[in-house]
Amino acid sequence: MPANLPPEYYEAEKLYKEAQDTEARISALEALISTVPKHKGTDKLRADMRKRLSKLRVSGSKSKKGGRDLYSVQREGASQAALMGFANAGKSALVEALTNARPVVAEYPMSTVMPMSGMLPFEDIYIQLVDLPPIGHESSDGWISGIIRNSDVVLVAVDLSDAPEVQAELLLEQLASWRINDKRLIVVATKSDLPGAAEGFIKLRETLPEGHIAVSVSTLSGTGLEQLKREVFDASDIIRVYSKHPGKEPDMKTPFTMPAGTTVIGLASKIHKDFVSNIKHARVWGSAKIQGQKVQRDYALKDRDIVEIHL
C-alpha cells in the first residue's frame, strides 16, 4: 500500500467496502479515487482503481433500468433540503445535530465523500436533509449540482470563524455558474460559539444580497437550531393539512403535506381519486373566518387547517 494516504481515504474506503449494489459502488469508488494524492507512490493504486471503476461502469450500464440519475438521492419526508459548503464548514456536525444520520465528523477536510441524508424533525413532520461533499472538487461538483437542482431548499453553510462573507460570495457564485438561481436558499452560519463569530455574522449579513436569509447556529450549544428548522420549513413552501371525518375528532398525528396554495379539491385528490368527482363541499377549521365554515372545492388551504370533506 502506498504511503502518505490521507485520513479521508480510509473513511472513503470503508464506505466503498460497505456499498451493496453497483451504483453505490461506482459512486463510492469515484469518491475514494478523489481522496488519493497524485504522486509516483500512488500511480499503481490509482490505475488499479480506475480499471475497477471502468468495469463497474460497464456492469452498471448493462443492468441499469429506468434511467435513474446515478447520484440522485431518493426523496423522503415532506421536502428535501440540500446542504452545501466548503471543507470544514461544519456541515457534518450540523447534520448530526439536526437529524438521525451519523456522518463522519472530523477536523480534516473531505470527511463527507458521498451524499448522506437524514430526517430533520419539525413539529409533526420530517424534512430530508442531504449532506453533500465539499464544493470545489472536480470529481464531485458535477453530480452535486444535480442533487442541488432537484432539491426544494438549498442550505449554504459558512464557517463564522473564517471570513464567512467571502465563503458565501464564492458559494453563491458557484450556484450561479451552475445556473441555479431560483432556489429557496438559506445561509447557515456555523460555529457561532467561537471567538469573533458575532462580528463575522454582522459582516456576513451586511454583504449578503438583499432578500437572503442567514441563521447563526452552534451545534455545541444548540443556539439557532430551532430557528433554522423553522426557516427550512418556511422555505419548503409546504402546508400541513389534517383530515376529519364528519362527527369524529380530526387526525392530528399524520398530516397531509402539500404545496402551499393547495385547494380543497387538491386535498381530495390526494386522499382518494374518487373524491374528486364525488365531493360536494368541505368544512374547514383554522384559516376559515368561522370555524367549521362550509367552503367550496376551490378554497385555498393554509398550514395546519383541519378539513372535513363531504361527499
CATH assignment at residue 163: 3.40.50.300
- Structural domain tally of the chain? 3
Q: Looking at the domain assignment, is residue 251 inside a domain?
A: yes
In this prediction, residue 135 carries a pLDDT of 85
In this prediction, residue 108 carries a pLDDT of 44
- 16 shares its domain with 30: yes
- 187 shares its domain with 141: yes
For the entire predicted model, the pTM comes to 0.73
- 200 shares its domain with 265: no
Q: Looking at the domain assignment, is residue 165 inside a domain?
A: yes
In angstroms, the CA 253 to CA 258 distance is: 16
> What is the span of the domain harbouring residue 52?
7-63
- 59 shares its domain with 193: no
Q: Looking at the domain assignment, is residue 70 inside a domain?
A: no
In this prediction, residue 65 carries a pLDDT of 46
C-alpha distances out from residue 39 to 10, 12, 46, Å: 18, 19, 10
In angstroms, the CA 89 to CA 206 distance is: 20
Q: Looking at the domain assignment, is residue 203 inside a domain?
A: yes
CATH number reported for the structural domain that contains residue 269 in this entry: 3.10.20.30
Q: Looking at the domain assignment, is residue 1 inside a domain?
A: no
In this prediction, residue 254 carries a pLDDT of 87
In this prediction, residue 22 carries a pLDDT of 74
In this prediction, residue 154 carries a pLDDT of 97
Of 191, 212, 236, the position where a domain reaches its end is 236
Find residue 116's DSSP bridge partners: 131
Residue 41 CB partners (closer than 8 Å, separation 6+): 2, 3, 4
Q: What string of pLDDT tens digits covers the 311 residues of the chain? A: 545 788 877 777 877 777 766 777 777 787 788 888 877 777 788 778 888 877 776 665 555 444 444 466 888 899 999 999 998 899 989 999 998 766 555 554 444 557 888 899 999 999 999 999 888 765 566 788 889 999 999 999 999 999 999 999 999 999 998 899 889 999 999 999 999 999 999 999 999 999 999 999 999 999 999 999 999 999 999 999 999 999 899 989 889 999 999 999 999 998 888 888 888 889 999 998 899 999 999 999 999 999 999 98
Q: Looking at the domain assignment, is residue 74 inside a domain?
A: no
- 108 shares its domain with 218: yes
Of 176, 207, 236, the position where a domain reaches its end is 236
